[in-house]
Structure 1
Amino acid sequence: MKKIIVNMATREKRFAVLENNKLVKLEVVPPSQESLVGNIYLGKVTKVLPGMDAVFIDFGQKKNGFLHRDQLPSFQSGNPVEEGPIGKYVRQGEKLLVQVTRDETAGKGAKLTGLVELSMEYLVYIYGIDYVGVSKKFKDPHSQQNWRDAAFKHKRTDEGLIIRTSMENQGLEIFLKQLNTLRETYADIHRRSAALKSPGLLYSKDTFLERVQTEIKPEETGEVIIDDFAGFKQLEEWLSVRQGPWKAVYYKGRENIFSKEKIEPQLDRTFKKIVWLDNGGYLIIEETEALTVIDVNTGKYTGKAEKEQTALQTNLQAASVAANQIRLRNIGGIIVIDFINMKDSRHKRAIIEAIIEETKHDENRTTVVGFTELGILQLTRKKTSPSLSEKLQKTCPCCDGTGSIDSPETIAFRLEREMMEHRNRDEEAVWIEISEAAAEVLLGEGDAYRPALEAAIGMKIFITYPVGLHNPYTIKRFGSIEEITMALHRH
């Protein structure tokens, strides 16, 4: 049974998806990081990149967005045989409607499209291209063709329509009603864009509950437990139309709903570097800007069978857990998994099949490339939004995200070299701020090296300790002993 826990009682919105009481997906939306995906803006082309067939777009956010030539209506409606460089379709300074398809991530601006989509429950509307698409999930091919014919009959030449799976058992009246609604919405957006003088937002809506709804599959049985009454009523009404096996439950308790459902402990583990397997093995997950590396280790598990079979059993379990962690942490881009080395090619194929099977339920497309000659599995996962760590964590100010800081010895000897550059100055004293551990290295145990260092630089040394353990040193001031003493007194 599937369960969705929705926490909307506080400013930070969250929902968790559990399958058989196992956390498989988590969405967190802090107020300052609400997704822009689906929002429509008036944009202005700030730079054309001929070598990349792309442009940078100012759409009213801090960082410019990126738009590829293929995402321009003028390109899509042209003759593919005569396609040309991006300069043929758009120019610098031009204004155009754009929609966000991927949020801004560390170091990269948002990804944009000029193929603006508006959607409702049964229909997707795209202005500017002549296109009809029908969901491949229709059970009846005859019904699929009927809807394709109906779409071509009622659409205009500059409109693209996608018939969603939920339309299969609906009537033409609903189709026409939603089509007219979407046309009116687009016309209103276009009118407001004409009145806007600079890049800015034209259309947005709170997509949080829509994301919850996408997790509700009619072929599954489950319940949505939510701690916000308005949200509960909205979901209850939405579910009542479907008359499916799902139900909405309003949670009234005082305890935070995530704590009540025992999700908080599982949430804490999503940020840990080491993830343990049931058999005693473990994964080490390292996220970097360029790619994510997952290392598989046997750990305490030695197995009773031969080495190859032990490796296979650990790797199969690791494949399942790794796929779950990738989805749970919302890791995107290039991912490499260093499984325990196996010689049998059939075993490697089994690992690939296990990963493919585990990622079937992931709404973000995952492509398994295969094993390299070094036995490392390569895969990619489509990135549409920042990972959980990017959303909820900041780079450590001490180590700048490297995981390492300079040792007290490194800091002390670096300072000593710098002090030697100031030797024989006219001033008679220097004030230094440095950590206690580095100061002990600089001056020696019990200040044993202080006299020699002061003689070498020709100045008396005064030291204070900053708040915090990992601050680098600072030469605060040079001056007379009296001036430094007075400054320390004021400090």
Structure 2
Amino acid sequence: MNRIIINVNDFQKRAAIIEEDKVVEIFNERNDESNIIKNIYKGKVANVLPGMESAFVDIGLEKNSFLYVDDLREFEEKYLNGIVNSNKAIEELLTVGDKVVVQVLSVPRGNKGARVTTNFTIPGKYLVLMPNNDHLAISKKIKDEDERKRLEDIFKEIKPAKMGVIIRTAAEGKSIHHFEREMIYLVKKWEEIERRIKRAKTGEILYNDNDIVTTILRDVLNNSVDELIVDNEKIYLDIIDYINAFSESNITTKIKLYTGEKDIFQEYGVDNEIERALKKEVWLDCGGYLVIEKTEALVSIDVNTGKNTGSYNLERTVLNTNLEAAREIPRQLRLRNLSGIIIIDFIDMKLQEDKELVLQQLDAELKRDRIKNNIVHFTDLGLVEMTRKRVGRNLSYFYEEECPVCSGKGKIKSSESLAFEIIREIKQVANEKDISKIYIRARREVINLIKDSYFDMLSEYLNLRKKEFILEEKDIWNYEITLGK
């Protein structure tokens, strides 16, 4: 059963895609910087960096966005009185204080601001309108050459002058009637954006493409989905209206309003799946498991046999575990929305044909992913290197925050190291004349260690200086030392 589950409340919108009864994608919509991909802003140039051929643009976010000169060309030609195919340097195109309209390509990450462009795209279900160029492209997922030629001929007729179009995979087999209707809608949307440009203020959003309900209806809902279930009556009616306007009418029978008392994400097991997706370890049905860890530079995935001892020889056990991992890894990438460079450490395989089978399985599952990805190769170290395009935030962004104790390391100081730090600090303050008591507060393990191993030494050291110390248990991960008279 393939389902789409949509949860709407006063705080957020969430959606889950379920394929063959397994949750494979989660969407979250909140009013923060996590949902700005494809938004179009009126910006102001804050700084120009000739040496980096780029500029920083203030679009009203916490950090200024980053604009490369190559992402400025078409806008310069159309709106800044530039020369067609100009090769002028960034400092000749922009100066500090200039107004420029940009579209977000990637969200802010760490100390980096959002990456922006002036090569605008306005997506629809069957096509993507490119207002600033005259290019016609067809999705590579449409393989049939006759179909590609048919679509190309149709769009050469209906494409607006001086605008470009990307023909999406969903256009395959559809009639010109679908395309004309959507083309009119997208062109009107762009004309509305252009009308707002002059009167808009810096940081104002001219176009918002991040309503998850619209995204689901446009990019996900198709004939392979058995049902779409939503728990909000207004959104339910909006979905029906959207489908009647832009999709096949038979899809409306798949739309259902959920009225159960239990939370819809609990009813369909989505919350449980999210909890599992926030853990490093993922257990496979065969008894093996994955360890998934995200760093600043890349995502590493380690495959282990775990409890899978097999019933055949070692090579067969390893192959079966790796094949199941190759099926599960693409689902986890989609579910967690992990992207960038991904390194997979499959269990070592001696036979080349076994490696080929695992790569074929991995490639077949990755083709189900809507987000562009690419398997690079098996490295000389036996690692699979692949990439996945960055689109939005990963799942943990919405459900976790950095630990204030370990600062994201995943580890805290041991009881021994804290005990040594306490002893060093006691020695530093023990010679102060105006104190007579030293209060030491720490978690139980640290206090017990001091009592068992260092109590006599500390007592003797402080008695010579006419000081006493008091040990107190406190539910903290570090320690506190206060002084008393």
Whether these two folds match at TM > 0.5 is: yes
- Please list, as runs of the form range in 1=range in 2, the aligned pairs for 1:33-432 lying within 5 A after superposition: 35-74=35-74, 83=87, 85-121=89-125, 123-134=127-138, 137=142, 140-151=147-158, 154-155=160-161, 157=162, 159-164=163-168, 166=171, 168-171=174-177, 174=181, 177-178=184-185, 180-193=187-200, 196=201, 198-204=202-208, 207-240=211-244, 241-245=247-251, 247-432=254-439
The alpha-carbon deviation at position 76 of structure 1 amounts to: 8.5
Please state if 1:459 is matched with 2:463.
Answer: no
Report SS of the residue matched to 1:434: strand
Conservation of the 8 A alpha-carbon contact between 1:76 and 1:129: no
Q: Within 2, Cα distance between the matches of 1:461 and 1:161?
A: 76
The alpha-carbon deviation at position 286 of structure 1 amounts to: 1.4
| Paired amino acid for 2:460 | A
| Paired amino acid for 1:475 | I
Q: Within 2, Cα distance between the matches of 1:55 and 1:273?
A: 38
Call closer, same or farther: CA 1:121–1:313 in 2, change over 3 Å.
closer
RMSD: 2.9
Please state if 1:14 is matched with 2:52.
Answer: no
The alpha-carbon deviation at position 473 of structure 1 amounts to: 2.3
Conservation of the 8 A alpha-carbon contact between 1:101 and 1:113: yes
| Paired amino acid for 2:249 | Q
Call closer, same or farther: CA 1:317–1:173 in 2, change over 3 Å.
closer
| Unaligned segments of structure 1, at least 5 residues | 481-491
The alpha-carbon deviation at position 264 of structure 1 amounts to: 2.5
Call closer, same or farther: CA 1:349–1:85 in 2, change over 3 Å.
farther
The alpha-carbon deviation at position 56 of structure 1 amounts to: 2.3
Q: Within 1, Cα distance between the matches of 2:132 and 2:363?
A: 36
Q: Within 1, Cα distance between the matches of 2:31 and 2:132?
A: 33
Q: Within 1, Cα distance between the matches of 2:439 and 2:32?
A: 39
Call closer, same or farther: CA 1:274–1:20 in 2, change over 3 Å.
same
| Unaligned segments of structure 2, at least 5 residues | none
Most deviating of 295-304 and 6-15: 6-15
| Paired amino acid for 2:324 | Q
CA-to-aligned-CA distance 1:292-316 (integer Å, 9 cap, x gap):
1111111121223332222111111
Q: Within 1, Cα distance between the matches of 2:352 and 2:94?
A: 50
Q: Within 2, Cα distance between the matches of 1:42 and 1:180?
A: 19
Most deviating of 131-140 and 294-303: 131-140
| Paired amino acid for 1:224 | L
| Paired amino acid for 1:102 | S
The percentage of aligned residue pairs carrying the same residue is: 31
Report SS of the residue matched to 1:315: helix
CA-to-aligned-CA distance 1:235-256 (integer Å, 9 cap, x gap):
2233344134561000111111
**TM-score (norm. length: structure 2):** 0.87
CA-to-aligned-CA distance 1:378-432 (integer Å, 9 cap, x gap):
1111111111012210111222111211112211111212222334222232443
CA-to-aligned-CA distance 1:265-310 (integer Å, 9 cap, x gap):
2222111221111111111111222221111111121223332222
Call closer, same or farther: CA 1:47–1:348 in 2, change over 3 Å.
farther
- Please list, as runs of the form range in 1=range in 2, the aligned pairs for 1:25-36 lying within 5 A after superposition: 25-32=25-32, 35-36=35-36
CA-to-aligned-CA distance 1:59-94 (integer Å, 9 cap, x gap):
101122222222213488689997465334433433
Most deviating of 143-152 and 255-264: 143-152
Conservation of the 8 A alpha-carbon contact between 1:430 and 1:475: no
| Paired amino acid for 2:467 | M
| Paired amino acid for 2:248 | R
How many residues in Structure 1 have an aligned counterpart in Structure 2?
471
Q: Within 2, Cα distance between the matches of 1:456 and 1:52?
A: 65
| Paired amino acid for 1:73 | R
Report SS of the residue matched to 1:290: coil
Call closer, same or farther: CA 1:431–1:365 in 2, change over 3 Å.
same
Q: Within 1, Cα distance between the matches of 2:361 and 2:205?
A: 43
The alpha-carbon deviation at position 354 of structure 1 amounts to: 1.4
Report SS of the residue matched to 1:140: helix
Report SS of the residue matched to 1:421: helix
The alpha-carbon deviation at position 151 of structure 1 amounts to: 4.3
| Paired amino acid for 1:94 | D
Q: Within 2, Cα distance between the matches of 1:20 and 1:201?
A: 38
The alpha-carbon deviation at position 344 of structure 1 amounts to: 1.6
The alpha-carbon deviation at position 51 of structure 1 amounts to: 4.5
Report SS of the residue matched to 2:199: helix
Partner residue in 2 for 1:489:
none
The alpha-carbon deviation at position 120 of structure 1 amounts to: 4.2
Call closer, same or farther: CA 1:37–1:176 in 2, change over 3 Å.
closer
Q: Within 1, Cα distance between the matches of 2:270 and 2:125?
A: 31
Most deviating of 269-278 and 298-307: 298-307
Report SS of the residue matched to 2:35: coil
